[in-house]
Structure 1
């Protein structure tokens, strides 16, 4: 640890960040309108530093959070310095860092004395975002245009004022606008809780110390991760799994993993996996990376912080045009099935590296039935 970092203060700040991001998540749960958020708890929350690096994540769906770097890069590319207090940027486009259309990301910048210091991020799976079927989650769609309303990187709130045009466009294109708009407002309200608590943290420690401890949180996670990997056996470990078919054609869909353990990092190569398929089970690059990060994190000790410092130790290569990195306009609504199989395939490779850390294979995916009526 950096000698300028006081270990007691570091522990206090680390636990404070965990508490703040969990409070953001609890606020979503208390204020959301839909069953999929309030009961199923299909949502996530995180806090990023001023550079967009995730420094804390709530006890929510971990598979969402590894996708934040891809989406954050699109937000920063689109808006750069054109953000202000009270803004909220949303995106769900799978080809702009999103995962599938029902998952709407919201990024709320945190300013301290007029300088950008971080972001509160809330991702919710919304009940419906339009498209050809209720729930917007069909596995038999063949292009993303069938799957619902694609939202590019755009401000839903500007300086605390809702973008009325954007809100009306969303309401007009979804089957249950009260639930969708209600959940979006819950995302915004929860993010304001995060902004409030981060302001109190900065008031207590000051800008310079807060920045230093945020950076140390990332470096600390990276150091712990690299220290563990140094103890792993070196080499390349292969695993292959299959999805039976995509529902539109009978051919099996292979997922091939080559996990290479280097001195203090790992690289993962999915070369040889199936080309993208017609049906909507293609996994976006952001989701494939998220599943990869999570699998490695699960093989580490429990005391490694869950932040982007872990990601620094994992290099992911996914060939374009495959089922794990499709080219637009491939359909992706039911990408979760493929993502779960990516996770299982990664665990199969990791079981050859740290067998005492890896559980037996799971069920390989899930089954979703959507019912709709009035």
Structure 2
């Protein structure tokens, strides 16, 4: 290939990324659920005709993007190319063939150029409700957790499956929001398809084959070159998490070989009887993300880079088999990057950040009028983030969603969805672990039902009995805490009640520190005191 051809291909590669970014932004603009519209809990991508991911949108979470990279092949296998037509859209929320739990809807749309299948567009988003027990860890099997949609056609030749729409309306608490999100997902893929056709017309390409081959070959070679620079060997790490009613141990062994990086989760706790289990497809997604953050953070994420990372596990909490309950798989799944990074820190001493809060502190609120009062019912979902671990050379980021990358949801948007009041949302002083570089701070959040209302909430919290650990001599971050404003302690997981007149108080964990605290620069200490990050007391 000549130099001018390589430049041309690179320009088209960048153009393809802009296509999927517009695809994702369409979903952001049209979604009904605040978790999608405000927090960016979604993903979007384009695939070749064999289901290999060529490009992903910048907007999106690793848990969605990397599971979707595998999920598209499941769609191809079950629908089959012979039954695919222009105008089709396919859908599932199967946790083992989608993104790990029922609340994520994955849609795949075949992209036809004339009558020839040239690729696929796929997108994923978290919807506010899928029926069942609601978003929480209390289920004993996936059958209790909501409606299951096998891989099927949402639309065929442009005609929407109205039977599916009626079934959805009969099984969810917020049918207008949920069905609205289904149509937003389908529209998102349609925008990607139209932009791709315009691009292929403009650059005079019949399909994605030559461009796809260029993308995958360059990515594979670049990622392999980075792996070649790493030390060879196997390193192990383990960590404890709160679990539901007893602690959960996570264990990983990371092997760096000449032809790739392997992660094995043998030694992790058995499958839980509660809905904190993780299907392997989601465990893979976050294990690969952790490796990529270290090995090749600047190399585009696609099928070729992911193919060099192999993840395995016997059946356990990180490889839960059907029909295990998996509703809040993110709580344990978001710990996987810290687990893997802890092993890589032994291979690359001084180069890996400390542990952080990890799992989002999601809270699903089911609010209703108090007894004898008039008012409004609503389902409200909030995404909240603790502190990140300190980095080699930099303090940890405060109230930042790592590894998921979702945005903070504005209080105004949250309050608009239901009769609740967020009385306080501020950084939590003294929560970042001490070190040469300080861990990021958590948050303090106070939520109350609006006047005349009460609510039940689903707690999906961790790092309360097992706070984020520091690295290279750094101290642990502050553990989390869940209570009412009268001091009553609440459980970190499960559905619980907040009566009228009381407030729910969440103290989110801070990130671990990095390096010896005695080596922290004096001006950094002064800044921490002036800004109120440290008060000299206990968080």
Partner of 1:32: 31
SS in 1 for 2:363: coil
Cα deviation for residue 274 of structure 1 reads: 1.2
Distance 1:210 1:354 in 2: 38
Contact 1:257 1:345 in 2 (8 A): yes
Cα deviation for residue 209 of structure 1 reads: 6.8
Partner of 1:79: 79
Q: Which runs of 5+ in 1 are unaligned?
A: none
CA separation of 1:209/1:7 partners in 2, compared to 1, >3 Å: closer, same or farther? farther
Distance 1:274 1:34 in 2: 34
TM-score (norm 1): 0.94
Q: Work out whether 1:126 is the aligned partner of 2:127.
A: yes
1:121-158 Cα distance to aligned partner (Å, 9 max, x none): 110100001012xxx32112111111001000010111
| Higher Cα Rg, which structure | 2
- Which one of the candidate residues 188, 200, 203 is aligned to 1:202? 200
TM-score (norm 2): 0.66
Contact 1:246 1:278 in 2 (8 A): no
Cα deviation for residue 205 of structure 1 reads: 3.2
Distance 1:232 1:324 in 2: 26
- Which one of the candidate residues 282, 298, 311 is aligned to 1:287? 282
Cα deviation for residue 73 of structure 1 reads: 2.4
Partner of 1:165: 163
1:261-298 Cα distance to aligned partner (Å, 9 max, x none): 11131111111111101110101111011011111111
Q: Work out whether 1:324 is the aligned partner of 2:324.
A: no
Aligned Cα root-mean-square deviation (Å): 1.6
Q: Work out whether 1:49 is the aligned partner of 2:43.
A: no
Cα deviation for residue 367 of structure 1 reads: 2.4
Contact 2:286 2:334 in 1 (8 A): yes
Cα deviation for residue 352 of structure 1 reads: 2.2
Cα deviation for residue 361 of structure 1 reads: 1.0
Distance 1:94 1:54 in 2: 20
Cα deviation for residue 357 of structure 1 reads: 4.6
SS in 2 for 1:204: helix
CA separation of 1:125/1:216 partners in 2, compared to 1, >3 Å: closer, same or farther? same
Cα deviation for residue 190 of structure 1 reads: 1.2
Partner of 2:111: 110
- Number of equivalences: 366
Partner of 2:363: 369
Contact 2:96 2:281 in 1 (8 A): no
CA separation of 1:346/1:3 partners in 2, compared to 1, >3 Å: closer, same or farther? farther
1:308-367 Cα distance to aligned partner (Å, 9 max, x none): 111111111111x21111122110001001111111101111222334552221113232
Distance 2:268 2:30 in 1: 41
1:178-230 Cα distance to aligned partner (Å, 9 max, x none): 11111111111111110001111221334457411112111211111110010
Higher relative contact order (CA 8 A, sep 6+): 1
SS in 1 for 2:122: strand
- Which one of the candidate residues 194, 203, 227 is aligned to 1:229? 227
Contact 1:91 1:98 in 2 (8 A): no
Distance 1:288 1:9 in 2: 37
Contact 1:254 1:274 in 2 (8 A): yes
1:39-87 Cα distance to aligned partner (Å, 9 max, x none): 1221111111111011111121122111124322221111111111111
